[in-house]
Each structure stands twice: as C-alpha cells, then as structure tokens.
Amino acid sequence: MSSSMSWKSALFLFVLCAAAFASKAVSAAAASPSLEEGVAVLDPSNFDGFIASETFTLVEFYAPWCGHCKSLAPKWAEAAQILEKDDPPIRIAKLDADAHSELAGRFDVQGYPTIKVFRSGSVEEYNGPRETQGIVDFVRSNLPAHTTLADKKEYDAFVKEAGKKVIGVFRVPAKGAVSTAFANAARTLKKEATFGLWADGKYDAKAKAYAKHNIESIVKGAKAPMILVVDNKGVFSKCSLSGDKLAAITKCVTDGEGLTKLA
C-alpha cells in the first residue's frame, strides 16, 4: 500500500513540476517580442524586458488609424531591416499606443507617431530624421563606440593598433556612474582615442594572458571599476576618477590630467 502511494506521489510531483516548467516556458516566450518586417512589436508583457536588454534603441509609439504613422511605417521597417543585418544586429521597435495607452502614458506620449530614444536606462524625445537612411545613421552614430575585448587575441590586436587607447575595466554586468561615463566618453571622444571594454571580473584567471603588455600587475587583484589609458608606446596609466566621472575621463584622454603611470 505504501509503495503504491509512494509511486503515485512521485508521479504527481513529476506532473506538477512539468506543468510549472511548461508554464514558465510559455511565459518566457510570450515576453519575447515578435517581429514585423524586422521591427520588434512591443506590448505591456515584453516592453520593459526589451528595453532592459538593449543598450540603445528607438521605439515608435503609433496608432493604427494615424495617417502620419502609416506614412512612417515603411521607412521604419526598411530601417529595421537594414539595422538587423549589422554585426551585432540592432533592433528598433514599435508600440500600438492607442491599444496600450496606459503604457504610452508612462512616457508622456501625446501625439502620433512619437519616437522615443532609450539609452542605458534614460529616455528622451527623438527629433532626428524620419527617412530610412536618416534613422539608420542616427542609430549607428549613437551606439556605444567601444570594442569589447573578449580574449588575448582581441586584446593584442586592439593595443597593437596605432593611436591612444582607453580601456575600461568593469565587472559584469557593467553598471554605475563610471561605466556610464565610459560609454559617454567613448562616443564623444572617438576622435581622440580608441575605446575598449574589458568587462570581466575574473582578473586573476585572465591576468597572465595579458602579461605581454604589462597589464598583469595592474589588473590582477584590482578592484573594478577602473580606466586605463595606453599611449602610443604601450605605457599604461590609470585615470583618476574623482568628482565628475565623465569630466575626469575626458581630462585624462585629452590632456593627460589625472593620469598615474603604472608600467
């Protein structure tokens, strides 16, 4: 009797767990936006997740009956299809603000179409072009202007290139005032230096791979975040990050103020 009950209990628990797993899978699928001609289709179930997953994106708030929205639609789709072929792919989105007025209200949408720029947690009005190529150019010009250094090969190639280098060292995921300032500096100072991001907290494990450029003693055991500036001779300096982070990085890169030679 007890053996029979044990078997039935085990079966019941298995079915219960399977149902819970299936429910979570369906929920996750529902939270992923579908695509229409390359454009991510947003609604209350996937909006916040999509925005959180994108460092930079544009969202069109539209109404199906709006004439200006109908005029913009093919250009928006064309831009989306161009951007999704970039490496890595770039995604722009749309939200039916008429059907989801409460969500649109969070962003003070008062007319259609309204386009909002979502950038690393901040939101602003889009006042750029509304033609296909203009939209594409705007998005590309606003993407993070840094290279992610994933391994020794990428690091060596990055440092070998001519010109001043700026390397941000952050834990994963990169968050906070310093990483935000680094991203902003990479965009505004791209003519002054080349920016690279070493977003990996496993310093000890990776240190020896970078010993060729005297970075082992700098990075091993270091506490993130930190900014390293590498001159044309491969000499490392650490950037002082006191006060306004963006201003500090700018001074380090443009005139060498606040730099401490490390190797």
Which positions are annotated as active-site residues? 66-69
CB within 8 A of 170, min separation 6: which ones? 178, 179, 182, 197, 198, 199, 224, 225
Q: Are 41 and 33 in contact (CB under 8 A)?
A: yes
CB within 8 A of 117, min separation 6: which ones? 56, 57, 58, 123, 124, 125, 126, 142
DSSP characters for 192-209? T-EEEEEE-S-HHHHGGG
Task: Say how far apart CA 262 and CA 226 lie, in whole Å.
Answer: 13
Read off the amino acid at residue 63: A
Task: Say how far apart CA 167 and CA 169 lie, in whole Å.
Answer: 6
CB within 8 A of 235, min separation 6: which ones? 261, 263
Q: 43 vs 5, 48, 108, CA distance in Å?
A: 46, 9, 16
